[in-house]
Each structure stands twice: as structure tokens, then as C-alpha cells.
Amino acid sequence: MQSSQKNFEKLRKDLENYQNWPSNYIFKFIIENKMDKKKELLSNFDLKSCDLTTKESSNKKYLSITLIKHMNSADEVVDKYLNLSKIDGIISL
């Protein structure tokens, strides 16, 4: 099993053990501060159902994005992370 897949399985297990579902979940990401990267990331969320916060780094090279979204299960959270991991250069916190 690949390292990243092991990490996602560990995340799934931790979410199932330590969080009650359904629940609000906080997604945090760091991306390059480029409009196309921001659009690519945000297009994966229904922004009408999320609380969104963004903050530029001090040198304005990176953008921190925090989204709070109601999720139904640990599987739904992990699936979202798996989908987003395809974005080049994304850092998930």
C-alpha cells in the first residue's frame, strides 16, 4: 500500500473514532496564490454551504484557505481529500 493511501486510511480511522457524524468539518489548505489554483480548489466545494476564509502569506506567494463544511461521514471527508490531492502543489493541513 502506498504511503499516501496509508495516510488516508489512518485519517479515515481517526475520523471514525474521534468525531461524531454527521458533523461540520474544517478543511485547511495552502496553495500558490494564483487565481487558477484558487478556482480549481474552490470548484470542488458548494460555496453556498461552506464558511470560507482566505489569507495571503506575508510575501503574497501563497494562499491559506479554510472551509467549514457539513459532512455526513468520515468516508465523505476522505473522498474529498483524495479528489483534492490531484491538484498540483496543494498542501492539506
CATH code for position 21: 3.30.70.260
Is pTM, for the whole model, over 0.85?
Answer: yes
Long-range contacts of the stretch 37-43 (C-beta < 8 A, 24+): 37/63, 37/87, 37/89, 37/90, 38/63, 38/65, 40/87, 41/65, 41/84, 41/87, 41/90
pLDDT tens-digit readout, 2-52: 557 788 899 999 999 999 999 999 999 999 999 999 999 999 999 999 999
Q: What's the number of domains the chain is made of? A: 1
Q: Residue 6: its pLDDT value, please?
A: 85
Residues spanned by the domain of 22: 3-92
* Residue 11 parent element (H or E): helix 3-18
Q: Which residue has the cell 481529500?
A: 81
CB atoms within 10 A of CB 29: 21
Strands 91-92 and 23-32: antiparallel
